[in-house]
């Protein structure tokens, strides 16, 4: 395994586990059979791939792109790798860094069948589950964005409901207990509901600015597919408003807090 | 037990279980220690209570009002019973008729402590769980409306996401499997998600017109409490649009189907 | 002319113009050929009419109801007067008190043809224009509410545009000049636009709480007619939010000010 | 004057007025003192400018960019021309082609003072009015997008109001007369209101797909400036829905027609 990180000292600890550290993306991939990328955003992925890595990758190698990126960039990467005789699998993940550390990620993959099979052992080694959603790589990116949208909608829903509860003399925690027992029975509602009820938005599990980025990518995907999404439109404004009120570095569930 | 139903033949089968059948609400409650009402809407509850039942109830008796009604009517009932020296507990339920038949309801109650204790044995006999949310009866009605709002928001969220999935070449069922495994792990998402994915909106588990009624009551409660609820506003329009398209008698999850 | 005001000293100055002052609504209308009411809201109108005035009015007399009220109350008044052999015209107005003083109101009337003709001389004496929109009185109330909705939408639109202009380094006044010259050429845009650009929300020309009341009545009318109105739903939340931020007594255009 | 059009035969008629016809954008600008572009969208403008025209323009020449484009592209053009020692003025217009033919455009310009002065005689020759909104070129593009937003909001507002009017038994034309006389007194309300009332959406004055494009650019500008715009979010969904219903080639006011 050859590792590369823009900030070299972040990669160094991997030496202890037997990894080599590359000085550039191109160096990292020159002899690779497979490239796994997990980066912050479209810009970072484009910089690495179009800035040398795609060119340096051997023909036939497979790129498993695990970042949460736009469907447009995913389409662009698919073309680029195709043009160079390389394989490409979009394989975004559900789960935070600590979930990754304990092999608890859920991975959604899409790409040509051969490419997916090529990447499968790597993906299975990284996650607790893998769903393959088709042969069009960008579909996996759309699933990731739509999945985050369902979380963001849940957060906004709980925020609105809690505000009504407080205005009605009911503790959010009590309401949460009711809908947990009577309806959802879901750990995600319990966890996020607890954070919102207690307003424990720091430290951020997932930063609000990243949530805004994902809503933006979702709306771009919806626009491209000609799909109206009224809840997503509301979320966009709520995230923008929250950022304007200085909550960009709080957990994205801080969008549920009244201004 | 003395039973009354506006349509007498609906009450008759209860004779076999030992119930007496009353000819009017007033007759039913004249010697009652406790009155339990479970009716369709505000109008039906007001007709029964202000149309004779409250006047006929003995002083000291308790009324457990289990219908989904407005917070305003609940406040009016509280006053009426207080004026007459009677007790009042708002005790709306989560769960459909078949859940009631198998004692699977979750009951949310609110009212003066003595009134709740008075009604408790009855409520516990009817449900699998009971949450008491305070001494102000209308608070329980607000909890019920906010709970239904969380369901309606989930339905709309899944509808928007599924539409994007279809536009991205992904089967809604696949998406549902991903968010079920990776995120929510909730039977409610699985059940409603399945209905929406398969567009099996008939027969209705809960009619769309009733869903619209509840959104209306929710917005009235929010208005009274001075709480903006943008998602609820979107839901109102979606339900109105669905009714305008002839889906009033379908399951309320039909609101998620594109027009 | 016999005048009545709940606060008697508000009516007293009218003596100088030759009016008599009545001690109660019933006294004011007992021998009247026509009753003109212009009151704050549904409650005030219902109190006066159902609290004695309708009962005291002679058969055949006409009631011109000029307040901004709900379509439901307007329907209730129509029934009540019909039952008593009286005539009823809904005749709400566009224009503020100072417009009324200078006979500058625009009046929208609806009612049975005979009733409208009966009231016409009075209405024409009060306004600069009169539009009759049908024989169903509540239609005139719907027109008034929809008219106020177009104003509220314009206010919100300008608020959003101005905010983007400020974020783009353009003075709202400059933007207003452009759209005034290039597009709308409307005194209403110029006036409200100027108030919003300069944030001169006090003294209120029309209080924000009254604006919220009208949005509420509009949404009730839309609900009754089965009409989705997404902009109206947004306005509802904006007004609620503005009231929550203490702007209830400012001009309703303060809804355009960022929080 | 040297003219260029991607479709040469569109340019040919200009010969009669004394223009030369260039075979490429680069040929058209090689010796020009000023370049005026008025093109369909970002793509067309980028193709022309980055595809040869910017490179071919002399140092010191001024580019007056009159298309409705994104603020991002406008910023990119500003940089490009600056880098090449050229001048750049963003000068989008209000008014359709027939308005242009009769010198009835209203032009909004922004750019360095010297550049604006350089372009002023050209701009004044083309329009009936010119507003200069600052030295940052992209500001003029933001004004254009926000101006179109005020029109789109008016269209949606009238659509919602008309729908309520129909549901209340009032002819949209009557309602339009009332708000025209009593409130707006604006030719734009009269014109668009008439089109919407009569549902005369063909032939399109401005195509619905172009309206969607502009809402998209507006939301991108708002996002870049961190400004929530709830009405714009609603408009986005309404335009997407209208396109999905096959109205993309109708006039953009067809967005007001119920689905």
Encode pLDDT of A69-79 as tens digits: 999 999 999 99
Instruction: Write out residues 162-201 of C within 8 Å (CB-CB) of B.
Output: none
Q: What is the largest CA-CA distance in chain B?
A: 65
DSSP string computed for chain D: -EE--SSHHHHGGGGGGT-EE-SSHHHHHTT-SEEEE--SSHHHHHHHIIIIIHHHSPTT-EEEE-S---HHHHHHHHHHHHHTT-EEEE--EES-HHHHHTT-EEEEEBS-HHHHHHHHHHHHHHEEEEEE--S-HHHHHHHHHHHHHHHHHHHHHHHHHHHHHHHTT--HHHHHHHHIIIII--HHHHHHHHHHHHT---S-SSBHHHHHHHHHHHHHHHHHHT---HHHHHHHHHHHHHHHTT-TTSBGGGGGS--
H-helix segments, chain C: 8-11, 25-29, 42-48, 54-56, 71-83, 97-101, 113-126, 137-167, 172-179, 187-198, 208-225, 230-244
B161's CB contacts (< 8 A; 6+ apart) are A146, A147, A149, A150, B175
Q: What pLDDT is recorded for position C182?
A: 96
- What DSSP designation does A35 have? E
Using a CB-CB cut-off of 8 Å, the residues of chain A touching D219 are 219, 236
The Cα of B93 is separated from the nearest Cα of chain C by a number of Å equal to 26
pTM equals 0.96
The yes-or-no verdict on residue A96 having pLDDT over 90 is no
Q: What pLDDT is recorded for position A116?
A: 98
* Catalytic residue (choose from A104, A144, A200, A257): A144
For residue D21, report the phi and psi dihedrals to the nearest 5 degrees.
Answer: -110, 125
CA atoms of D234 and A255, how far apart (whole Å): 20
The pLDDT tens digits of the residues spanning B99-134 come to 888 899 999 999 999 999 999 999 999 999 999 999
Q: What pLDDT is recorded for position A197?
A: 97
Q: What pLDDT is recorded for position B164?
A: 98
Q: Which residue from A227, A229, A237 is facing D230, i.e. has the nearest CB? A: A237
Beta bridge partners of B63: B35, B88
Q: Which residue from C133, C181, C186 is facing D170, i.e. has the nearest CB? A: C133
Q: What pLDDT is recorded for position B259?
A: 74
For residue D24, report the phi and psi dihedrals to the nearest 5 degrees.
Answer: -155, 160
Q: What pLDDT is recorded for position A251?
A: 98
The Cα of D110 is separated from the nearest Cα of chain C by a number of Å equal to 10
The pLDDT tens digits of the residues spanning B145-154 come to 999 999 999 9
The Cα of C259 is separated from the nearest Cα of chain A by a number of Å equal to 8
pLDDT (mean) for B222-251? 97
Instruction: Write out residues 18-57 of A within 8 Å (CB-CB) of D.
Output: none
Q: What pLDDT is recorded for position C98?
A: 86
Which residue in C123, C121, C52, C73 sits closest to C93, CA to CA? C123
The yes-or-no verdict on residue B258 having pLDDT over 90 is no
The pLDDT tens digits of the residues spanning D205-227 come to 999 999 999 999 999 999 999 99
Which residue in A72, A21, A26 sits closest to A47, CA to CA? A26
For testing contact with chain B, the best of A182, A196, A257 (most B CBs within 10 A): A182
Instruction: Write out residues 211-240 of B within 8 Å (CB-CB) of A.
Output: 218, 221-222, 225-227, 229-232, 234, 237-238
Task: Report the chain D residue with the minimal C-alpha distance to residue C136.
Answer: D169
CA atoms of B251 and B211, how far apart (whole Å): 9
pLDDT (mean) for A254-259? 90
Residues of B annotated as catalytic (active site), given as ranges: 144
Q: What pLDDT is recorded for position A100?
A: 87
To the nearest whole number, what is the mean pLDDT of chain C?
Answer: 96
Tell me which residue has tokens 């608890």: A104
- What DSSP designation does C96 have? -
Which residue in D172, D239, D244 sits closest to C230, CA to CA? D239
- Listed range (B65-74, B221-230, B231-240, D92-101) with the worst mean pLDDT: D92-101
Gap between the terminal Cα atoms of chain D: 48
Using a CB-CB cut-off of 8 Å, the residues of chain D touching A222 are 240
The pLDDT tens digits of the residues spanning C151-188 come to 999 999 999 999 999 999 999 999 999 999 999 999 99
Instruction: Write out residues 122-161 of B within 8 Å (CB-CB) of A.
Output: 129, 131, 133-134, 136, 138-139, 142-143, 146-147, 149-151, 153-154, 156-158, 160-161
Which residue in C12, C73, C13 sits closest to C37, CA to CA? C73
The pLDDT tens digits of the residues spanning D143-189 come to 999 999 999 999 999 999 999 999 999 999 999 999 999 999 999 99
The pLDDT tens digits of the residues spanning C207-257 come to 999 999 999 999 999 999 999 999 999 999 999 999 999 999 999 999 999
pLDDT (mean) for B32-47? 96
D84's CB contacts (< 8 A; 6+ apart) are D54, D55, D57, D59
Which residue in D96, D97, D88, D93 sits closest to D127, CA to CA? D93
Q: What pLDDT is recorded for position D166?
A: 97
């Amino acid at each position: 395994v050859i590792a590369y990180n823009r900030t070299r000292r972040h990669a160094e600890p991997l030496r202890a586990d037997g990894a080599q550290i590359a000085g550039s993306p191109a160096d990292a991939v020159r002899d690779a059979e497979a490239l796994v990328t997990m980066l912050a955003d479209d810009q970072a992925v484009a910089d690495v791939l179009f800035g040398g890595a795609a060119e340096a990758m051997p023909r036939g190698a497979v790129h498993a792109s695990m970042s949460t990126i736009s469907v447009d960039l995913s389409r662009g990467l698919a073309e680029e790798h195709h043009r160079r005789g390389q394989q490409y699998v979009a394989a975004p993940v559900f789960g935070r860094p600590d979930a990754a550390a304990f092999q608890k990620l859920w991975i959604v993959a899409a790409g040509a069948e051969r490419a997916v099979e090529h990447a499968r052992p790597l993906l299975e080694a990284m996650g607790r589950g893998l769903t393959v959603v088709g042969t069009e790589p960008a579909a996996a990116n759309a699933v990731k964005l739509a999945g985050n949208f369902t979380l963001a909608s849940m957060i906004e829903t709980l925020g609105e409901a809690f505000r009504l509860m407080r205005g009605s003399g009911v503790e959010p925690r009590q309401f949460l207990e009711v809908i947990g027992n009577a309806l959802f029975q879901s750990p995600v509602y319990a966890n996020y509901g607890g954070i919102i009820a207690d307003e424990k938005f720091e430290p951020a599990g997932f930063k609000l600015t990243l949530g805004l980025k994902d809503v933006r990518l979702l709306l771009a995907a919806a626009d491209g597919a000609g799909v109206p999404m009224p809840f997503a439109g509301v979320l966009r404004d709520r995230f923008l408003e929250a950022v304007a009120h200085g909550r960009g570095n709080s957990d994205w569930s801080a969008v549920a807090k009244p201004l």
